[in-house]
Chain A
Amino acid sequence: MLPQKLKKKLQKVIRAADYSREKAVDVMYAVQRHYGYLSDEGLAESAALLGMSELELEELATFYDFIYRSPVGKFVLHVCDGVVCWMCHEQWSCTGEEESIVTYLCARLGVEVGETTDDGLFTVLPSACIGFCEFAPAMLVNGRAYGPLTPEYLDEILDQLRKEHDELAVDR
């Protein structure tokens, strides 16, 4: 159940718009922030607020890649696999093996792509080019970009995120 305060806030936002559907993504983002992901319940509540059918909102929710319809960790590590970052992944490992940041992270965190760590903190997902090509290879975590990534830097980031996980404003 969405808390009353959040519900009222969202209703206000919707009322202020000329057309309520304009706020569909904003409402989904807010509800997603509350539940950690856009659950079935969250989808139904969002649809009711917007005056859309659940299917209509599901059409949008499943179309977009930053709306998570499955549970994700507190930090979603969107590792860019755009062509520039890919180029750098390829150069990244000198072992000649098929290595990339994604495989490195998955090994480090003990998860597969799309899975969440047991402590509920990290999910590793690919992402289309995030627009930080001069800092390739890069990744996006909860709206913040990090790069150029090295194994050491990655470990640093993970530690930092672990420390900050209560304070970091989750703003996607």
Chain B
Amino acid sequence: MPSLVIDNRSVEVPKGTKVISAAEKLGIYIPRFCFHEALGAVGACRMCAVMFLDGPVKGLKMSCMTEAKDGMVISTDHPDAMRFRSWVIECLMLNHPHDCPVCDEGGQCLLQDMTVSGGHGIRRYGGPKRTYRDQDLGPLVGHEMNRCIHCWRCRRFYQDYAGYRDLGAMQIGSRTYFGRQKDGRLQSPFAGNLIDLCPTGVYTDKPSRYEGRRWDYQRSDSVCPHCSLGCATMLNVRYRQVIRLEARPEPAVNGHFICDRGRYGFGFANHPERPRKARIDGSEADLQTALQEAATRLGEVSAEYGAGAVAALGSCRMGLEAQVAMARLCHERGWSAPRFYLEPDLALRVHAAARSLEPELALSQTELQKADFILAVGVDPLAEAPMLALAMRQAVRSGATVALIDPRPLELPFPSRRLAVECGLFDVALPWLVRQAFGAKKRRKLDEIYPRLLTVAGGEGLEKKGLRELKKMARLLAKSQRPALVCGTDMVPQGLPGGAADLVRLLREQGKDAGVFFVLPGANAMGAAMAAPEETAGGDLLEAMERGEVRALLAVESDPLFGFYDRARLERALEGLKLLVVLDHLPSVTAAKAHLLLPVTNLYEAPGISLVNHEGRLQRASAIQEPGTPLDQYGGGGHPPRVFSESTPGGDLLPADVQLEELAGLLSNTNAETPRLNAWEWLAQRQPGAAEAVSNGAPVYGERLLPIQVGQAALVEQPVASPVAVGKLELLVGSWFASAEELSSYRPIPAGPEDEPALWLHSETASRLGLETGGPVRLVLEGGELPLTLRTSDEMNRRTALLTPGKGASWQMLPGRRTLLDESAIQRADRGES
């Protein structure tokens, strides 16, 4: 560990550390522009110059390019260094428009900070300034090139780090221009990070332009609720409105970046139709009255039909506190098992994942980047968890190979190996691959130890070409030392999550530093598994409603009609209920049908929520702002009405867990002051993994709550190959980037072409069926017909069709999540028929 002296203070750092980072350890922030922890050091801006007084290097050198070595003596404020840095700033400011008063970056601008601290104040350059014409880069990222100081960060991030190729550096010298070839929307789903990265105001957040200065905002550490990765965000609120989100650096999870869905998907929080007043049978009421009424009516149903006739349905977007409160309520009242999924099969898969995630197996995004071979099964990274794609790319940049087994046409910003087999063959392909990674002798041994796991009938159902590809992947697995298995839970067979974890355990026992990375259906799927491990014992809720066993439904932060494959059926079941109580903050279609509507706060309102991400890490989305109608809406755009009240308008809301606790109290009928455990204590009792993270009834954030105890797995039989029969197609529904995720669908990122309703087929299948790429087709289903545009791909499975419905519910007339269709169900439509 080299030891060096910076500004008369000693510091010891790991070998390979650059001087600029060594200084940071001492709390010395050497000025810089082009250096960025995630993008590395390139030595372009020359801003980080320091004086090396003694040691192996002497003179004025760049601290970001120089490795810290023993015996170095460095002065950051040597007069020559200060003079040089001041001159560099002067050079950078030569062409700068000096428009801080009208620039959104002002107050959070690295250039401002460096200019002031660099001692450059008076402008002595008397020549003309170089100016540029700006581009329209789309609705999300602003572009004002005159402010550019050519730190090259944007190009390095956009092309090198993220792998997209529609933004770059054109021209030469001081005329160098960062932008697209033509005006147009930035194609990368990570483009918003340019805003955080740009040290000046070239790239700014367009939707929140001119809303305020950084010091105007109430800022708090939040967590993204749109997928199970749980990336860290920074919340900015003003006048009761969420203004913008930024990426928050969290080295253990997402590093420095977030995806655009996470950055811009917060529109649900400010939605003008958001429920803010409780409703009883359609009429407004105050929240306390509504809670009373809810308790009364739930009690009545329970009394009349039995406790088991009341069911509660939550979701993966709830905070852990609310999930616990809901589970407790069901438990204490003897209601039907608490559920967080409408589809029991999905619940089973998620529970299998949760159960099998032991601490040594779990991988975070950061850890995944260090894998040397990544095998992803049944997951579409960019659609389900975009930052996963970015983490995979970093692994590829370090030399790893990524192999994906999935039938869909996956678009990824890095080269990868593909095996496009249908979902029904995952259970067979994966173990076969792992088995092939070992020599013949070893294989026989493993067969004895893991009879159920590995012995599948010689890759049954897989074609020769598929087996060849699996062999190649197996060879990569054999050579790897740090393999990672990424496993989806959405479009996969029941046994896959458990099987995947078993295989990772096998690999570890055979000496590999293997890990598993599950992708779950929502931000707090793990929390749901922890709160209600007994969910799967409850059986199918929809069927229970249809059979009349369940007569009352308490839907908490849940909109089961959104995204359910057979909407008509669910609507009928809901209509048949005696009582539907909804607690939610979204103006959802289920909420519109509720007899009782109790509005709740969302994660951006005080006090915030806790979430457990895909790797079992407990994180806190904190919020300071008390709930209320945004001033913008309350004032109709003008000055708010000059009315005084004791409460905040539109603020008659309470967090879901508080409301559920109140219901519990109202329903319990006991006056005895029995000391009641708080939510964390209750959770800690049932989940030993949580017990470690809870001290004195309060959670410790940032740690993994593993292992998670979830009830006995339904015994999955020997994996069986279920290929799609000839003449048939398996129809999958794609969760395409913006419009299909529930929260962000409320104010979706303005639609791009990928949001148009489309049907994907393999190009050979399409031509065999006489269909034209880009042409209109009809998907003929029992419930009706869907007009769609046909897209083709050479990389997807030939017997799979992928439906990307875009916005709107017309597609919700399928018999299941994965539907077997006759090829004839896809027909050519005449133009003008859509």
Contact = CB atoms under 8 A, between A and B. Distances in A.
Interface of A: 52-56, 58-59, 62-63
Given A54-B181, A55-B180, A55-B181, A62 B166 contact: no
A55 B172 contact: no
27 contacts: A52-B165, A53-B165, A53-B166, A54-B166, A54-B181, A54-B182, A55-B165, A55-B166, A55-B167, A55-B168, A55-B170, A55-B180, A55-B181, A56-B165, A56-B168, A58-B168, A58-B170, A58-B181, A59-B168, A59-B169, A59-B170, A62-B170, A62-B171, A62-B172, A63-B170, A63-B171, A63-B172
Contacts of B171: 62-63
A171 B180 CA distance: 31
B194 to A, nearest CB: 15
Contacts of A58: 168, 170, 181
A31 to B, nearest CB: 16
Interface in B96-151: none
A63 B173 CA distance: 9
A3 B166 CA distance: 27
Say what secondary structure dominates the interface of chain A.
helix
A109 to B, nearest CB: 27
Interface string B175-192: 001001110000000000
B109 to A, nearest CB: 27
Contacts, number: 29
A52 B165 CA distance: 8
Contacts of A56: 165, 168
Nearest to B167: A55
Nearest to B155: A59
Nearest to B169: A59
Interface residues of B, number: 12
A38 to B, nearest CB: 13
B777 to A, nearest CB: 27
Interface of B: 165-172, 177, 180-182
Nearest to A43: B181
The listed residue with most A CB atoms (<10 A of its CB), out of B167, B177, B181, B182, is: B181
Contacts of B180: 55
Nearest to A59: B168
Contacts of B167: 55
Contacts of B165: 52-53, 55-56
A3 to B, nearest CB: 24
Contacts of B172: 62-63
Contacts of B182: 54
A59 B172 CA distance: 9
A59 B158 CA distance: 14
Nearest to A69: B170
B172 to A, nearest CB: 5
Contacts of A62: 170-172, 177
A56 B160 CA distance: 12
A54 B165 CA distance: 8
B795 to A, nearest CB: 16
A8 B168 CA distance: 29
Given A59-B169, A62-B171, A62-B172, 14 more contacts: A52-B165, A53-B165, A53-B166, A53-B181, A54-B166, A54-B181, A54-B182, A55-B167, A55-B168, A55-B181, A56-B165, A56-B168, A63-B170, A63-B171
B135 to A, nearest CB: 12
Contacts of B169: 59
Nearest to B179: A55
A62 B170 CA distance: 6
A136 to B, nearest CB: 25
A128 to B, nearest CB: 12
Contacts of B177: 62
Nearest to A60: B170
Closest 10 CB pairs of A and B: A53-B165, A55-B181, A62-B170, A58-B181, A54-B181, A59-B168, A62-B171, A55-B166, A55-B168, A63-B172
A55 B171 CA distance: 12
A28 to B, nearest CB: 14
A58 B166 CA distance: 10
B175 to A, nearest CB: 9
A58 B167 CA distance: 10
Contacts of B170: 55, 58-59, 62-63
A15 B622 CA distance: 56
**Residue of A55, A58, A63 with most chain B CB atoms under a 10 A cut-off:** A55
A122 B167 CA distance: 34
B822 to A, nearest CB: 37
A96 B169 CA distance: 43
A58 B172 CA distance: 12
Nearest to A55: B181
A56 B159 CA distance: 10
Contacts of A63: 170-172
A58 B182 CA distance: 10
Q: Output the residue of B166, B167, B168 with the most chain A CB within 10 A.
A: B168
